[in-house]
Amino acid sequence: MPAAPSSLHLSCPSRPVVVLAILAGTLLGRFAAQGQPQRPFGPVPSPAQLAWHELELYGFLHFGINTFTDREWGFGDESPALFAPTDFDADQIAGAFAEAGFRGLILTAKHHDGFCLWPSATTRHTVAASPFRDGRGDIVRELSEAARRRGLRFGVYLSPWDRNHAAYGTPEYIDVYRAQLRELLTGYGELFEMWHDGANGGDGYYGGARATRTIDKRTYYDWPKTWNLVHALQPKAVIFSDVGPGVRWVGNEKGIAGDPCWATISTDGWAPGDAPSEELNRGQRRGAQWLPAECDVSIRPGWFFHASENDRVRSPENLLDLYFQSVGRGASFLLNVPPDRRGRIADQDLRALTGFRELRDRVFAHDLAPSASLSSEETIPPAMSESPPSTAPETPASVAFTSGALGALVDRDEKTYWSPSAASEEALVTLTWESAVTFEVLSLREFLPLGQRIDAVSVEVDRDGRFEVLATVTSIGARRLIKVPKINSTRLRLRFTSPVPPALSSLQVFAAP
């Protein structure tokens, strides 16, 4: 039921309507906080997940023996002598991502072929047996250090499947895998993500046995024990696998999250490599865990560099589309850009990354929301129903936050949020400009420490004095980018539907370029 615009408390027999109005922009700060503190709703992110949500866009580096054999999955019998980048430059690689606005890098420290890009003490199948830096090189070290120099967080991919190791398939290999993990978790500074692949078992070299080894995906790796190791040694890192426990696979390798894509899901009974992709893609509105999705995709058809694919690099426009379908749906975007045989990002890929950055800069150049007057209206039902109990009793203590007036939506501070009163049933936020503005993209962020609260939001625009619905979307979470037909108007209204009052940390309205 639409609320009547006024600055008074109105009441009608069944539903009191409260209208709060403040001005943002120049008057911001002159008003006492009108937003209401709220209790968390449903599962909420851990501090490590909250920090991960801030990254949004980070790079994947598939680099290793396959780069030199022109394959995607090495058999495990490749000689380490093949690993011979001619001009390896970790700074060129990290710089390419940093300049394109990425916030982290994840490196394949070991792919399925078992070749370790660091001098692991667990096997001779490593970079130490290669000609690279005369056997004294360490790709993980060089890239982790270059990433930090460029302000990028660093993470590693360690394939559970190892087609080189003689013990693969036996309990002994699990000890080897954990020892490798320990080396990576302790030797390379703070990691933001540990990436465990779901491809497991099959034929391989296996120390010369050249056999087919199948494993029971549900029991062989004893994942909970491995995850404990990660949590103990890198408490700030999130763990990625099909089922998390920190970040979930999005269910495809196309870089596309579902619409909706809820950050919550229940993974009971599922295992890494054995989970329903469709559910992973969309999440579950009433899921029991906070387990947001990560969208991994390659800039080329393959994950590793193949010169034959140099003319099949994704275009900047395609990358922007993927950004809207991943980051814009509350997930993260993990874009693989594989270094070439020199050990550098190839020119074609560099051009695509630069173009992608330029497009984002253009789309997100001018936020019109801070120059609008903001007002909110809320409808309060006669009898408030109890909100469902949260799995988290309190907002995590380490997260400082304040609720505030509508200005919190445009203050560029993700630690402040706006929320209507606890009794609100439906909330509306209206932006009014003195003269008409033209926009075509909106960005919304929920205040995640209070959970994913909003069921849906409708975007309405004033056309000749009447509001018309332009778009309705469901899941918001970390971020929702909404494209609307290019519109020229003085008023924009958002109508939120949620089982508990919404809590939003940001609202942006981007001027059409």
Give the residues lining the site for ligand FUL (CB under 6 A).
72, 197-199, 296, 303
Query: Of 197 and 460, which has the nearer Cβ to ligand FUL?
Result: 197
Beta strands per DSSP E along 447-513: 456-463, 466-473, 480-497, 504-511
Query: Of 48 and 61, which has the nearer Cβ to ligand FUL?
Result: 61
Report d(CA 122, CA 359) in Å as an integer: 45
Q: Give the alpha-carbon dihedral of 230, 50, 139, 322, to 10 degrees.
A: 130
Q: How far is the CB of 350 from ligand FUL (least distance, A)?
A: 21
Q: How far is the CB of 135 from ligand FUL (least distance, A)?
A: 26
Query: Of 302 and 355, which has the nearer Cβ to ligand FUL?
Result: 302
Task: Tell me the residue number closest to ligand FUL, measured at CB.
Answer: 199
SS3 per residue for 398-466: CCCCEEECHHHHCCCCCCEEECCCCCCCEEEEEEEEEEEEEEEEEEEEECHHHCCCCCEEEEEEEECCE
Closest CA to 164 of 217, 111, 102: 111
Residue-wise DSSP of 291-314: --EEEEEESSSSSS--GGGTT-PP
Query: Of 52 and 510, which has the nearer Cβ to ligand FUL?
Result: 52
Q: How far is the CB of 296 from ligand FUL (least distance, A)?
A: 5
Q: How far is the CB of 198 from ligand FUL (least distance, A)?
A: 6
Q: How far is the CB of 90 from ligand FUL (least distance, A)?
A: 20
Q: How far is the CB of 195 from ligand FUL (least distance, A)?
A: 8
The answer to whether residues 451 and 45 touch, using CB atoms and an 8 Å cutoff, is no
Closest CA to 115 of 73, 55, 52: 73
The CA-to-CA distance between both ends of the chain, in Å, stands at: 35
Query: Of 142 and 197, which has the nearer Cβ to ligand FUL?
Result: 197
Query: Of 118 and 303, which has the nearer Cβ to ligand FUL?
Result: 303
Q: How far is the CB of 108 from ligand FUL (least distance, A)?
A: 7
The answer to whether residues 218 and 271 touch, using CB atoms and an 8 Å cutoff, is yes
Report d(CA 340, CA 500) in Å as an integer: 51
Query: Of 109 and 320, which has the nearer Cβ to ligand FUL?
Result: 109
